[in-house]
Amino acid sequence: MSYPKQVYMGDDGEVSADFRSAKTPPNVGTAGGDAIHYLATMTTTHGEFGLYRVQMGPHAGGPGTHFHKTISESFFVLDGTVRLFDGAQWIDARKGDFLHVPQGGLHAFRNDSDSSADMLLLFTPGAPREEYFEKLSLLADATDEERAGFLLKHDSYFVD
């Protein structure tokens, strides 16, 4: 194995870091309830990855079993208990637990507990998931054709 292709061509480094305070309100949802924080988007990472913090209230639903053809998805539980489906079984993942799902891997998640849960979602390579998170709630009123087009655009293939 070797390192990836060189991207930065300078000799002195540059000031280019992107800080996000923990006090920043969520990008989608509300603080204290179900919410998504955009920690690092495809835009800020130049397509390398997308990192999101997902806060789920008690008994929060989640997506059904699905897979992605172009992106992998990883889950890291920060707090609480998140039910993760690894394609074969449901796992009660707790603080510090991690699940990586490569392209094509079946997966799902939800919070079935009586307490809130908090986790990180990592997509690699980066993908424009922000529109997916922001418009997902609109699918309830979408036609079957609109729903299918939205899911195809966002590399989400549901099997149940």
CA-to-CA distance for 12 and 148, rounded, in angstroms? 48
Residue 58: the pLDDT is 95
pLDDT-derived band at 160 (thresholds 50, 70, 90) equals confident
CA-to-CA distance for 79 and 9, rounded, in angstroms? 40
For the chain, what is the mean pLDDT?
Answer: 93
Residue 139: the pLDDT is 84
pLDDT-derived band at 39 (thresholds 50, 70, 90) equals very high
What is the spatial order of strands in the sheet that 98-101 belongs to?
28-29, 35-40, 50-56, 117-124, 72-79, 98-101
Residue 22: the pLDDT is 92
DSSP states of 13-53 as a string? ---------TTSPPSEE-TTSSEEEEEE-TTTTTTS-EEEE
Tokens 């394609």 -> residue = 87
Q: Which of 47, 22, 48 is nearest to 37 (CA)?
A: 22
pLDDT > 70? residue 32: no
**Among 29-38, 43-52, 65-74, where is mean pLDDT lowest?**
29-38
Model pTM?
0.91
pLDDT > 80? residue 33: no
